[in-house]
Amino acid sequence: MADGTPGNLAGRVVVVTGGTRGIGRATSDLLAQAGAVVVVTGRDEVRVKTVAAELSEANGVPVTGVAFDVADFDAVGAAFKAIAAQHGRIDGLVANAGILDDALIGMIRPGLVERLLATNVAGTIATVQAAARVMMRKGSGSIVVLASIVGENGGVGQTAYAASKAAVATVARSAAKELGPRGIRVNAVAPGLIDTEMIAHLPKTLVEERITDTALRRLGDPADVARVIRFLISDEARFVTGQVLGVDGGLVL
């Protein structure tokens, strides 16, 4: 419930793309706990509606679901117009939707690069653009995009993915400069190794090596990232913009 919850967001309308799994779902849950009117999005309409209903019941606040593909600019624009029409405003955006596809340099296929850039980069830009257009009407808003420590430090077999996430961090910095005078803050979080479905394909030995290299000696939990996102969306971060905050347990020091 909203009372006494850190970063009280009672009545704020916040859209979370890729909000049905992992970090996105954890973020949607924490925002709903803080009293936000959360709009969960994803590509699978059935899953989107199911998750929205589960979060509504768990938190006692209305959570709605809208299905669209962030890589489709027209679909993004139409979805945000519909959300704004339904709720009358959009106060926050968590541009979390993204995909991971690893390949060594010698094995990178053109289709892999195009797919990563379409979802992770173009999709982020499309959602930031659509949300900002609504936020500018009232002169305020907070946007958080999902970068990655891989975008800062690179990773073996992750050249294309790292490039896409480095671009996302730059989207945050550029958009912050452009939208700041309009009262809109834009920040990014850069998660480290987080215990989600996206790392399920990694060899156990590699995961153990990464944990050993992490100062806190553990994997991150989706809620660890979600708490930082909630802070950035809230007024507690009202003088924070254009930042890329690492949430990696000390993997990058």
Q: Which of 161, 185, 233, 237 is catalytic?
A: 161
Instruction: Tell me the whole-structure pTM to 2 decimals.
Output: 0.94
Alpha helices in the chain (DSSP H): 22-33, 45-59, 73-87, 110-116, 123-135, 149-153, 159-179, 204-213, 222-233
Q: Which of 46-55, 152-161, 212-221, 224-233 has the lowest mean pLDDT?
A: 152-161
Q: Known catalytic residue: 239?
A: no
For the chain, domains (ranges, CATH) are 13-189+222-246 (3.40.50.720)
Give residue-wise pLDDT tens across range 22-68.
999 999 999 999 999 999 999 999 999 999 999 999 999 999 999 99
Q: Which residue has the higher pLDDT, 5 or 7?
A: 7
pLDDT at 131: 98
